Amino acid sequence: MTVTAGLSPVGAVGDAGRGVLAATLDRVGGLPTTEVRHGLPAADEQWISCADLLADPAMFDRWRKRLADWLGERHEGQIPERTTSGYIMSWYLQVPGFLGGLLFHAARRVPSLRPADIAFRLSGDRPHPDGIALLSDEFCCLPEDPESHRPEATAVADERALAAVFRARFTAHAAKFVTAFGPGTRFGRRTLWAAATDALDTAGWLAGRCLGDEGSGVADSALFLPAAEAPLTSASTLRAVTGDCGRTVWTRRRESCCFHFALPDQPACTTCPRISEDERAERVLAR
């Protein structure tokens, strides 16, 4: 796919070899809505380096403009800047968050999450990331991991320690995003870090849902956010809701807002912090 609106892509290159993480992503990365892969394809798809994007915040302006045009085709009236900024804030942070959460959930491995080691692809229609590429072989794992002897592997004591590595690596990436993205928006640091908290909290949950074990994914998210640890803004807010018929579903309250409700005639999202817990439960059970 071709990235438009002036976003600078990284050049497409083939994989140099198939390592441990490449094999893992070959197994679990072919998801229906988001491709997660190791290395960049040899085809002429265009991928955006996270490092390049964070080094040139004007690229975020072009991304917002492209999103505003897309939303403008679907909603009458003016598209608020806070909505395009809110969408992109959430979308970007989900790139390192979902990548790390997927590998943690699938294999108990945490990859490098440095901006230089991640690229993503925007969909040709709705301009959201529909592909994520890991560009590094380095990973942390548990002592019992069969690949822990490899030179690219670093073993840590247990699952809590591994989750702490993921949290630290994600937070380091998010800090670079806050520095690059924040000055171009009206969002304060608390809002930006709330969005980072949301991305980390949903990382395990979404991975579990994608791979068919939602409950286990929720447990992973609890490992990622056992408490509010600054600059992150809360512990995991995931909770189970049970209806009168006995059906149980998972939901959460967002710490940040995507400002979808600011679009003409649009309601607040189910996870929006603006709605009550009773309304949230009623809405998720009615799905």
Which pLDDT score is estimated for 284? Answer: 84
pLDDT score at 157: 98
Helix or strand or coil: residue 228?
coil
Q: Token pair for residue 247?
A: 């059906």
Residue 24, judged by CB atoms within 10 A of its CB (0-12, 13-18, 19+), counts as buried
Using only C-alpha atoms, the chain has a radius of gyration, in whole angstroms, of: 19
In the numeric block, which tokens belong to residue 100? 């790390």
Distance between CA 116 and CA 134 in Å, rounded?
Answer: 9
| 7 in any annotated domain | no
The parts of the chain modelled with pLDDT lower than 50 are 1-6, 8, 11-17
> Distance (Å, rounded) from C-alpha 203 to C-alpha 110?
12
Are residues 162 and 108 in contact, defined by beta-carbon separation less than 8 angstroms?
yes
Indicate whether 180 belongs to any domain.
Answer: yes
pLDDT at position 222:
97
Q: Evaluate whether residue 15 is within a structural domain.
A: no
In a domain, 187, yes or no: yes
CA quadruple 180, 60, 194, 133: dihedral sign: negative
Answer yes or no: is 6 within a domain. Answer: no
pLDDT in tens, 257-268: 888 888 877 888
Would residue 8 count as lying in a domain? no
> What CA–CA distance (Å, rounded) separates 273 from 126?
25
The end-to-end CA distance of the chain, in Å, is 33
3-state secondary structure of 207: helix
Residue 126 lies in a domain: yes
Distance, in Å, from the CA atom of 145 to the CA atom of 143, rounded to the nearest integer, reads: 6
In total, how many domains does the chain have?
Answer: 1
Range of the domain at 63: 20-286
Compute CA distances 260 → 85, 177, 192, 202, whole Å: 11, 21, 16, 18
| 118 assigned to some structural domain | yes
Tens digit of each residue's pLDDT (9 = 90 or more) over 127-140? 999 999 999 999 99
Give residue 24's pLDDT: 96
Encoded tokens for 224: 């990622």
